[in-house]
Amino acid sequence: MSIFSYLNSSGTSSSLSGLYSSPLQQLLGTTDSATTSVAGSKATSSSSSGVVISKAAAIASAAKADASKDAAELASDIRAALDSHYEESGGRVADMSEMSPRALATVILNKEGGFSRAEVAAAKIEMKARDRDALENVIASGFSLASLQSYQAQQLVDRAGMSVEEISARRQL
């Protein structure tokens, strides 16, 4: 499988598409403008201060907070944050775009069985989307040998800093 076919795949195979089609439509059909991060805090824009927390900053903050937790504690925190979001939003699925890579991997691995198939599928889609976005940024900024070398070097740095959970989850993608 080429990198482009991997990055463009929807995260479900044809044999699984019937199983996930309705939960995925629910996941992809609705998102809340204020998204829930792993720790349950929201990335918000404060109208009084005008401060906006970027998606990258929210992910970095969540990654820092998640790094100090063991896998069971992290899974429990993710479950609590998702449940809280479901309660607040009337059952709409939480946007996973601000979760740390380790949190996404924890959902994908689902070792304790605490996450639904739809949540696991959404985490896989988000992880692939981040990979696709990184490659698209390289291509959009001028496709050259130097940009590809820079991209490859950054990928090696990123891989070296991955948690055990993320390495295992990426093998399942």
| Residue-by-residue DSSP string for 137-152 | HHHHT---HHHHHHHH
Tell me the C-alpha distance between 124 and 106, whole Å: 11
pLDDT value of residue 10: 54
pLDDT digits (tens, 9 = 90+) for 131-140: 999 888 888 8
Closest residue by Cα to residue 135 from 1, 5, 27: 5
- 9's tokens: 């795949």
User: Distance between terminal CA atoms of the chain?
Assistant: 12
Angle between helices 101-109 and 71-89 (to 10 degrees): 90
As a whole number, mean pLDDT of residues 27-36 equals 39
Query: With 70 as the cut, is the pLDDT of residue 34 above it?
Result: no
Band of pLDDT at residue 7, cut at 50, 70 and 90: low
Mean pLDDT (whole number) for 23-35: 41
What letter would DSSP give residue 7? H
Is there a contact between 123 and 165 (Cβ–Cβ < 8 Å)? no
What confidence tens digit (pLDDT) does each residue in 107-128 have? 999 999 999 999 999 999 999 9
